Amino acid sequence: MKIIALSTFFISFITLSIAQQYSLPSLRFEYSAYEPHIDAQTMEIHLTKHHQAYINNLNKAISGTKLESFSLNQLLLNAGMRSDAVRNNAGGHYNHSLFWQILAPENKQGSMSAELKSALEQEFKSLDSLKSKLGAAAAKHFGSGWAWLIVTPDKKLKVTSTSNQDNPIMDVTKERGIPILGVDVWEHAYYLKYQNKRGDYLNSIWKLIDWQMVSTNYITALNDPLLKEIADDTWPEIKEFHKVMSQTFHPAEKDDLLPLQARSGEMLAKAILLKESVIPVNYQKPELKAAMLKLVKDCDELDKLVKKNAKKIVLKTKIIQAHDTFHVIQGLCKD
């Protein structure tokens, strides 16, 4: 098997994740190039057996379903709604693709960018401190999984870990963000060379981290719309209000007021919960708080009109007003 250089397409795959039948990426270097830190046999088996199995199983799981048209990011974002086969294999494909991307022999590695160095020092004080924290997250992780350096929705760096093939993009994880560096702590990543000595493997893996590639991932993540999607996904109150608004407003557009009449009280309750919720750091601004107060007022007036059996035209006018206010809130969350 000929190993080719990492292509521009593969770099964009990590962040854009174009929907398709997925295929195995190529390593950046020959299998033996990662020695002595990871042996050639482990690299070959890891890529062509383990990673290939995730791809085969993912393609099988989505074949003939609407998920064929979903991007990899979409499969990951709502992993909690997917089957185990989709969740585990989509994660396995994404996680390994990132892992191959950031590994390089020592003589082929680039330097860390000034932007990443500054962010790293601000959050962790030093590279050694980051290595210690990430190494501890990997070493202490029970069973199979991954340790990560991520960019959070508020654009800070954070170390975290996940089990099995989960990753921080997924809605099933506590600490969420876009991974820019991942360390595989499944035994198949190191067992042939290190046996049960995970600590020795983790000490060696640092010799293979290409900080230039991690720096590229950092800048890409900062500007990736996926960060906003994750931020919105970690604000459950806005998702819950959006759901009930959609389920009442769209029928009302077609002069079907029954859903609104049945759920106006629920809409008011969701609006109050939204107003009282913890606003993500990126969205905290006076205009947003004012808009949420207005939304509660609109929903309260709407609920009172429903209870008074107001005419349909009055109810329709009022729900349009509440809908417009919610659009203002959504607009304020774009920045």
Query: 200 with 253, same domain?
Result: no
* Structural domain that includes position 257: 235-332
Query: 180 with 97, same domain?
Result: yes
DSSP state of 107: G
Confidence of residue 13 (pLDDT cuts 50, 70, 90): very low
Nearest to 234 by CA among 328, 153, 326, 331: 153
Percent of the chain scoring above 90 in pLDDT: 75
- Residue 313's pLDDT is 95
Query: 156 with 12, same domain?
Result: yes
Per-residue model confidence as pLDDT tens digits over 302-330: 999 999 999 999 999 999 999 999 999 98
Would you say residue 11 has pLDDT above 90? no
Query: 136 with 208, same domain?
Result: yes
Domain boundary among 231, 263, 280: 231
Would you say residue 222 has pLDDT above 80? yes
Is the residue at 2 inside a domain?
Answer: no
Per-residue model confidence as pLDDT tens digits over 63-101: 989 899 899 999 999 898 889 999 999 999 999 999 999
Is the residue at 1 inside a domain?
Answer: no
Query: 272 with 212, same domain?
Result: no
Cβ of 214: how many Cβ atoms within 10 Å?
19
- Residue 17's pLDDT is 43
Choose the weakest-confidence range: 46-50, 227-231, 282-286.
282-286
Query: 221 with 248, same domain?
Result: no
Query: 124 with 221, same domain?
Result: yes
Confidence of residue 333 (pLDDT cuts 50, 70, 90): confident
Query: 54 with 181, same domain?
Result: yes
Query: 219 with 243, same domain?
Result: no
- Residue 335's pLDDT is 55
Per-residue model confidence as pLDDT tens digits over 47-65: 999 999 999 999 999 998 9
Query: For the chain, what is the domain count?
Result: 2
The phi, psi pair for 179, rounded to 5°, reads: -70, 140
Q: How far is CA 131 from CA 87, 97, 137, 148, in A?
A: 29, 21, 10, 11
Would you say residue 189 has pLDDT above 60? yes
Would you say residue 12 has pLDDT above 60? no
Choose the weakest-confidence range: 72-81, 108-117, 118-127, 155-164.
72-81
Would you say residue 232 has pLDDT above 90? no
Q: How far is CA 22 from CA 10, 50, 90, in A?
A: 12, 15, 10
Question: Span 99-124, mean pLDDT?
Answer: 96
- Residue 331's pLDDT is 85
At a CB cut-off of 8 Å and minimum separation 6, what does 20 contact?
none
The phi, psi pair for 4, rounded to 5°, reads: -110, 165
- Residue 20's pLDDT is 53
Q: Return the bridge partners of 145, or none.
A: 163
In angstroms, the CA 87 to CA 166 distance is: 8
- Helical spans, DSSP H, in the chain: 8-16, 40-45, 52-62, 72-77, 84-102, 114-124, 127-139, 191-194, 198-205, 211-222, 226-233, 236-253, 258-276, 286-307, 312-332
